[in-house]
Copies of this chain bind each other. A is one copy, B any other.
Amino acid sequence: MNSIPEKTIGRLSLYRRLLNRLRAEDKTHLYSYELATLAGGTPARVRRDLMAIGYNGNPAHGYEVEGLIESLGHFLDTPQGQPVVLVGIGNLGRAILSFFTGRRPRLYIVAAFDSDPAKVNRVIHGCRCYPMQELPETVRGKGITVGIICVPAGEAQPVAEQLAAAGVRGILNFAPVRLHLPGNIYVEDMDMTMALEKVAYFAARKPNNVPGK
């Protein structure tokens, strides 16, 4: 069976963001090559990606911005929205709170947790912060499915297990370690150290060694 490539999911989310910006500029239609330029890619890949959501363009005007956004929403979002929790209110955790809290309607951080008593029971960047003890009841009580981990590397595995035990189904992990969880929990690693070393590697080699992406 032909299922949707994992990378396509990420790009669909990117397309939607770009389209929302275009809509705000009153653009009503666009071609695959325009979206490809904005998203960084080829027109063929854009068309292939859009096949996944079953939205059809038109050879004369391309894709209708409004309809495509709606179609992407239908594909990517759940009707009831998806609240998110964050664990670890340190330097990075606070930056992320400032960015994601109260921004998107369907994907927003509803609570943050930390083991340090000095950091909890207050509001940071508009987000309520609680001690770790309250994590299970919050996650279970609100039916939260997504967690963000911003704790030190050594704490990431136990925190991930607590999240999984509480019912979270997907984790965005900023700690530079690989998590070992049951296979039905989706983990996406944001390993900045790895990314920076990769950049440094290619920055130091000759142009012909630099992949086009």
Contacts and interface: CB of A to CB of B under 8 A. Distances in A.
What size tier do the contact residues of chain A reach? 35 or more
Interface string A124-160: 0000000000000000000001101000000000000
B192 A190 contact: yes
Interface in A175-198: 176, 178-180, 183-188, 190-198
Given A96-B192, A99-B192, A186 B202 contact: yes
B99 A92 contact: yes
Identical chains in the assembly: 2
A145 B184 CA distance: 41
Contacts of A211: 6, 186
A13 interface: yes
A94 B91 contact: yes
A117 interface: no
A98 interface: yes
A170 to B, nearest CB: 3
A40 interface: yes
A100 interface: yes
B172 A187 contact: no
Nearest to A109: B196
B194 A14 contact: yes
A91 B99 contact: yes
A168 B107 CA distance: 35
A200 interface: yes
Contacts of A200: 76, 82, 84, 107, 145-146, 170
Contacts of A209: 3
